[in-house]
Amino acid sequence: MQNDKIVVGLDIGTTKICVIVGRKNEYGKLDVLGMGKSVSDGVVKGKVINIEKTILAIKKAVQEAEDVSGIDIKVVNVGIAGHHIRSSIHRGSITRDDGEDEITVEDVDRLANDIGRMVMPAGTQIIHKMPQVYTVDYDDGIKDPVGMTGVRLEADFHVITADVNSINNIEKCVKRAGLDIENMILEPLASSLSVLSEDEKEAGVCLVDIGGGTTDIAIFHENIIRHTGVIPFGGNIITSDIKEGCMVMQQQAELLKTKFGRAISTEASENEIVSIPGLRNRAPKEISVKNLAHIVEARMEEIIDLVHAEIIASGYEGKLAGGIVITGGGSQLHSVRQLVEYLTGMDARIGYPNEHLGKSKIEQVKSPMFATSVGLVLVGYRSLDERENRYLQAKAMNQNVFVNQKQKAGKKGGDFFSKIINKTKSLLIDDFDENDDF
């Protein structure tokens, strides 16, 4: 049963490694059974740079999730991100033997498989190939061609590639931690499942996931993924700016950012001062909240300007009625929504994964910081493309019909042969009885 299926998401991020164990309840919501976190020391900007540290962090997070949930974790859905991610549009086509027959799910799969065999730049590998729109003979702009008739089937595919070494390093870490990978998913696509509504995807929306090492972008329009991008800046670079600008330790800079940081400097008071402990035998250091806000605002403006440039480059500026949805740890920065609206001129909101969550004792999972982790669990129940779900259901129905027909045919055939055998037996008995009379 689908509701009995337990799915595990593993988010290997730059600042944290998170494991979430979930199961769908009777209302179709996700019940979080367990959660585990650990500090991510071996990952920088989404790429694994220290295998051993990453393995230890994965094991620690998995153990914590197992202790809370009581589930023995063996298979996970893993997220992948980083500046090495590339996206492009490629067109594929197939020619069908008989244009009078209806286009089937198998035809659509054959077209997708052909795209999967295309030659990519050296050192890269396809992780997603998602159809945009189809063309059947001379009719274009078709979202779902199954059931139509035609000889030539074409489609534009949104192809997402990743660095082979990055993929191999993630696989190596997960396997050496004693786990198997069920799916490897681009992280902003996973986040989109947890924080975006179907209406927003239909109207047009840009998801901005501000993580520790990178800011990931995914643009949807007419319920189809149209553009993805990765900006090599995230929350960690703001922390580094504060560390250098205020001359404090890394941990102190992180606390200053999360507790007192503001994305709009005019909201900070001129007279507000934060005192932090000094180094050994040194007086406490006083930090102006106004100066802190200037540092945060400058870097956030840079990140948002790059996000806006991605939206313009995608060609969908002015088409996103759903505006911008900000999620990830960086979305929790004070006044970030207002700054996004001011710089882009688009409506914005903070994306929480609450809509898909059932009742849970683990309240922190409702934070935007865990949107990707929740999305990775949802991937185990849903496809990134809703059309694929329909195709899989259609395949299952066809297989069930075929099995039932085969069983019926076998039963009928068995009855036929049974009648022949019984008839033969009766003739033999009759012959034997006749011989006894002589």
Quote the percentage of the chain above a pLDDT of 70. 86
Query: pLDDT of 118-129, one tens digit each?
Result: 878 889 999 999
Query: pLDDT of 35-70, one tens digit each?
Result: 999 999 899 888 899 999 999 999 999 999 999 999
Please report the pLDDT score of residue 422 as a whole number: 56
* Cβ pair 111, 129 in contact under 8 A: no
Residue ranges of domains in the chain:
86-162, 206-351
Q: Do domains 86-162 and 206-351 have the same CATH topology?
A: no
pLDDT at 20 over 90: yes
pLDDT at 401 over 50: no
Predicted TM-score (pTM) of this structure: 0.84
Quickly list H helices, 261-335: 289-314
| Domain 86-162, CATH class in plain words | alpha beta
Please report the pLDDT score of residue 389 as a whole number: 66
Query: pLDDT of 94-103, one tens digit each?
Result: 999 877 789 9
Query: pLDDT of 414-435, one tens digit each?
Result: 555 455 445 544 544 454 444 4
Grouping H, G, I as helix, E, B as strand and the rest as coil, residue 353 is: helix
Calpha distance 123→165 (Å, rounded): 8
Calpha distance 55→76 (Å, rounded): 14
Calpha distance 177→171 (Å, rounded): 10
Q: What are the percentages of helix, strand and coil residues in the chain, rounded to 5?
A: 45, 30, 25
Q: CA nearest 175: which of 26, 75, 307, 66?
A: 75
What's the fold here for domain 206-351?
Answer: Nucleotidyltransferase; domain 5 (3.30.420)
Please report the pLDDT score of residue 369 as a whole number: 94
Please report the pLDDT score of residue 210 as a whole number: 96
Query: To the nearest whole number, what is the mean pLDDT of the chain?
Result: 87
pLDDT at 261 over 50: yes
- DSSP code of residue 97: S
Distances (CA, A) of 250 to 212, 214, 325, 388, 434: 14, 18, 29, 45, 106
pLDDT at 393 over 70: no
Task: Indicate the burial class of 390 (C-beta count within 10 angstroms; 0-12, 13-18, 19 or more).
Answer: middle
pLDDT at 378 over 60: yes
* Cβ pair 368, 350 in contact under 8 A: yes
Please report the pLDDT score of residue 346 as a whole number: 96
Calpha distance 236→46 (Å, rounded): 12
Query: pLDDT of 127-152, one tens digit each?
Result: 999 998 999 998 998 988 998 999 99
pLDDT at 308 over 90: yes
